[in-house]
Each structure stands twice: as C-alpha cells, then as structure tokens.
C-alpha cells in the first residue's frame, strides 16, 4: 500500500505546473488571493517560488496591469510594448524606466530613460499628439483607466517618407472584492504609418474580463478584434483621426456586450436546457401520480400479466 501511495504522489515539476495553471487563470485582480491559497496547498516555499516566478510575469503582461511609479509621477503599464531587459518597463509619457517586482506587483526603482530607449524627435511628435488625444478619451470613457502610446518599429526615423509604428495600450480595472466582483478592460492598437501611400492602418484587440462570486462563481472572458484605416496627415490631425476610430470601435463593442447581457434571459439561458422533452410533450408537474416507473417497467417486460 505504501508503494502505491508513493507512485501516485505528484512530482515537484507536476505540482509546479498545476500551481502555474491556477495562477495564470486567476480572474482579474485576484492573483494574489489565488497565490495565497496555492502557497498554502503546496506547503513548499521552493515549489511555490518557482511557480510564482514563472506565472506572475505572464499574468501581469496578459492583463496589462498598471503600477504606480515610486516617485508618484504617474503609472507605468506592464506591457510587451514597453518591456526592456531586467524586468524594466518604459513609461513614454514621463520618459522614465521602472523596475518591476512581478510577484509583489510593485515598482521597486525608477530611472530616466536613455536616449536609445526613446524615439526620434520626428516620431515623438506623432507619439505625443496621439498620447494627448488618447488620454482625453480614456479620462472620459474609463474611470481609473490608464493609457500609454509606445513607438514600435521605426523609432529612429528622422523625417517624412518612411514607415513607422505606434501602439496604443488602454487598461482599466475595477476591483471590488468586498462586493464579490472584479472586472477589467484591456485594449491594444497597433498603428502602422505607411509613408509610401500616405495611409495609417489600425489593428485593434479588445478584451473584457469579469468575475462575480457572491453565492456562486460566474466569469466573463470576451475578446474582439477589428481593423480600420485613415489618412496619413500632420501629427495633430492624425491623432484626432486615430482617437476617433478607437473611440468608435470600443464604444461599439461595449454596446454589443451590453446588448448581449440584456438578451441573456430570453436567449442564452433558455438554450441551456431543453424546452421540451424528447417526447415533445411537457411534463405534467401538477399531476405526477399518473406516472409510475414500476408500472411502466412491468408493462415493458410483460411482468404481472
């Protein structure tokens, strides 16, 4: 018996993988609560630290969490667009680089960004103009939302006629565990400025996550992608046009989610159960005595004739 118990015991690697799965699938804003329970179940600090070290960075990047800078000059978004070496992340608006402790989800240090980490003055003009417009939009649309505009490819471009890319990242969260609900909104927009044909192409990805756990456990995980385009113009005009497109698509998507919620009782919930039994006859709950399992079985088997 003892040998069978030893054979059925999970290996340390298996325990780490299971722990990572629970951490990575934590609802928005709840990974620290899940981590506390996982640590208690593992009862092994080395295994927990290994799982947490691998899972937390992925979770933070996926959920686009925002962290306050140590000098309280703003917030930095944990996103691949601003990721540098050594758990460092760029905040383009303040031209600062924050070092992040992924497991504790805090910024531990901050320094000025180096020249090579920032775009050229030409690109920065487009980035700053778009950042200002997106900031106004987020302040109107997302309470406690955080946004940032990054330069992707072509940050060394010095003048017109060349291609470059910007990325808009928007993250908004509402955590209210005392009311048994948490939610988040994440959207990223890849924006390609094409100098040869004077167009700007946008590709957007939006994700909504919500968790309600009062006397139950209900989660929402919705994703949506879209594309659009506009003309390549002066920085201020480009910024207005791009922000209008983003506002339009995100507002439209949120409206569609709200509409689907309103139709849940009459559509989705009803489809979860069979409207009629296979006999196509409603069950007479008011007179169940007319049914007798014993009688039906006896009839089928010819018993008692």
Give the number of other CB atoms < 10 A from CB of residue 288: 9
In a domain, 54, yes or no: yes
In a domain, 123, yes or no: yes
In a domain, 298, yes or no: no
Residue 181 in tokens: 């609900």
Q: What is the pLDDT of residue 113?
A: 94
Give the number of other CB atoms < 10 A from CB of residue 214: 9
> What single-letter DSSP state applies at residue 113?
P
Q: How far is CA 65 from CA 30, 137, 149, in A?
A: 12, 19, 15
CATH number at residue 30: 3.30.1140.60
User: 14-67, pLDDT tens digit by residue?
Assistant: 999 999 999 999 999 899 999 999 999 999 999 999 999 999 999 999 999 999
* pTM of the complete model: 0.82
Q: What is the pLDDT of residue 215?
A: 78
Q: Which of 2, 25, 33, 39 is nearest to 175 (CA)?
A: 33
Q: Which of 148, 139, 138 is nearest to 74 (CA)?
A: 148
In a domain, 182, yes or no: yes
Task: Count up the domains in the chain and report the number.
Answer: 3
In a domain, 187, yes or no: yes
Say whether 257 sits in a helix, a strand or coil.
helix
Q: Within 13 A of 171's CA, how many CA atoms are on the CB side?
A: 20
Rounded Cα gap, residues 183 and 102, in angstroms: 20
In a domain, 51, yes or no: yes
Place of tokens 């103009």: 129
166 shares a domain with 244: yes
Rounded Cα gap, residues 101 and 216, in angstroms: 33
Please report, in tens digits, the pLDDT of each residue of the chain (305 residues total).
455 445 568 898 999 999 999 999 999 989 999 999 999 999 999 999 999 999 999 999 999 999 998 877 789 999 999 999 989 999 999 999 999 999 999 999 999 999 999 999 999 999 999 999 999 999 999 988 999 999 988 889 888 888 999 999 999 998 888 888 899 999 999 999 998 889 999 999 999 998 988 877 888 889 999 999 999 999 999 999 999 999 999 999 999 988 887 776 666 656 655 556 666 666 666 665 555 555 665 665 565 55
* Displacement of CA 108 from its chain's centroid (Å): 24
In a domain, 303, yes or no: no
Domain around 108: 66-118
141 shares a domain with 104: no
In a domain, 279, yes or no: no
163 shares a domain with 33: no
Rounded Cα gap, residues 145 and 134, in angstroms: 11
């Amino acid at each position: 018996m003892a040998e069978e118990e030893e054979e059925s015991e999970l290996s340390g690697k298996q325990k780490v993988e299971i722990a990572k799965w629970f951490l990575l699938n934590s609802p928005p804003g709840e990974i620290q609560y899940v981590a506390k329970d996982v640590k208690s179940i593992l009862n092994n600090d080395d295994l927990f630290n290994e799982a947490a070290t691998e899972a937390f960075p992925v979770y933070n990047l996926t959920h686009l969490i925002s962290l306050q800078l140590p000098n309280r000059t703003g917030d930095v978004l944990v996103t691949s667009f601003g990721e540098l070496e050594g758990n460092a992340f760029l905040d383009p608006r303040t031209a600062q680089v924050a070092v992040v402790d992924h497991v504790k989800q805090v910024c531990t240090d901050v320094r000025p960004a180096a020249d090579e980490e920032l775009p050229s003055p030409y690109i920065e003009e487009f980035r700053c103009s778009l950042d200002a417009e997106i900031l106004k939009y987020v302040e109107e649309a997302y309470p406690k939302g955080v946004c940032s505009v990054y330069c992707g490819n072509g940050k060394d471009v010095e003048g017109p006629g060349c291609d470059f890319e910007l990325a808009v990242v928007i993250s908004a969260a509402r955590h209210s565990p005392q009311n048994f609900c948490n939610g988040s909104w994440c959207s990223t927009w890849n924006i390609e400025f094409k100098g040869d044909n004077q167009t700007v192409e946008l590709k957007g990805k939006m994700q909504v996550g919500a968790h309600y756990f009062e006397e139950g456990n209900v989660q929402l995980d919705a994703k949506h992608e879209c594309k659009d385009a506009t003309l390549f113009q002066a920085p201020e005009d480009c910024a207005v046009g791009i922000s209008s497109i983003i506002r339009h698509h995100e507002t439209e998507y949120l409206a569609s989610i709200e509409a689907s919620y309103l139709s849940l009782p009459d559509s989705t919930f009803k489809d979860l159960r069979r409207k009629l039994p296979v006999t196509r006859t409603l069950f007479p709950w008011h007179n169940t005595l007319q049914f007798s399992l014993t009688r039906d079985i006896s009839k089928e088997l010819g018993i008692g004739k």
